[in-house]
Amino acid sequence: MACPKWPWLAGGLLLASSAAGQFNDTFRTTITAMDPMTNLDIADMRYNVWNVDEVSGFRSNEWYDAWFVCHFVATGYNAHGVAWWRTQDEGVAANNTLRYQSEPPSDGPTGSFDRTLEVGHRNGTYLGAMSGLELAAYELNVSHTHDTAVIFHNITLSVPIRSQA
């Protein structure tokens, strides 16, 4: 037969097997505020509220409604930094939450993803973390209210890779 009918089947099996085994390890890397994957100078830098530490590269702001964005393709992240409240009053502090949102930049036919994580740490050393995410291109938006001060250090990403491990 000049035109066999089985190659599409073989190709389908090959694709299925490679999709299942394309990654077997995780690569962890740290992204700073100076990497283009992060954006602390959103839209219009004239009104930017994030201060820059020229030595460490850390970004900080106090008592502003502010947020930062990180774009990544990963299955998890861990944002490092420090946050504290304006007041010691626990009743007021309950409103002063850090919000974390991970969502694709636009809603596709496959549906949207939206997760919010509230971090209530006082003087904590991390700004939030998620793991076990479905691999996708995410936009992480970390925001806080003007009753909170934040120092952003960096963010560690978990990127699946294939290795010989």
Partner 1 sequence: MVQQRGPDSQPAWAALETFQPPELTHTVEDGAVSLQNMTELSFAVPPNTTLLRVLGPVMHAEDWDQTANCYAALDPEPSWWRPGNFPLSTSYKPNSGANRTMFLLPIDPAVEFTLRLGPPNPASRCVVDGIQSYPFYLYVSRRCPESDYLATTPSPT
For residue 163, state whether it binds partner 1 (rule: CB under 8 A): yes
For residue 46, state whether it binds partner 1 (rule: CB under 8 A): yes
Residue 70, Cα to own-chain centre: how many angstroms? 5
Helix (H, G, I), strand (E, B) or coil at 64: coil
For partner 1, the binding residues in 139-158 under the rule CB under 8 A are 139, 156-157
For residue 162, state whether it binds partner 1 (rule: CB under 8 A): yes
Give Cβ neighbours of residue 60 (< 8 Å, ≥ 6 apart).
50, 51, 53, 149, 150, 151, 152
C-alpha angle with apex 19: 16 to 20, nearest 5 degrees?
A: 90
For partner 1, the binding residues in 83-102 under the rule CB under 8 A are none
- Could you list the residues that contact partner 1 (CB under 8 A)? 18-19, 22-23, 25, 27-31, 33-39, 41, 44-46, 48, 52, 54, 57, 71-74, 104-110, 135-137, 139, 156-157, 159-165
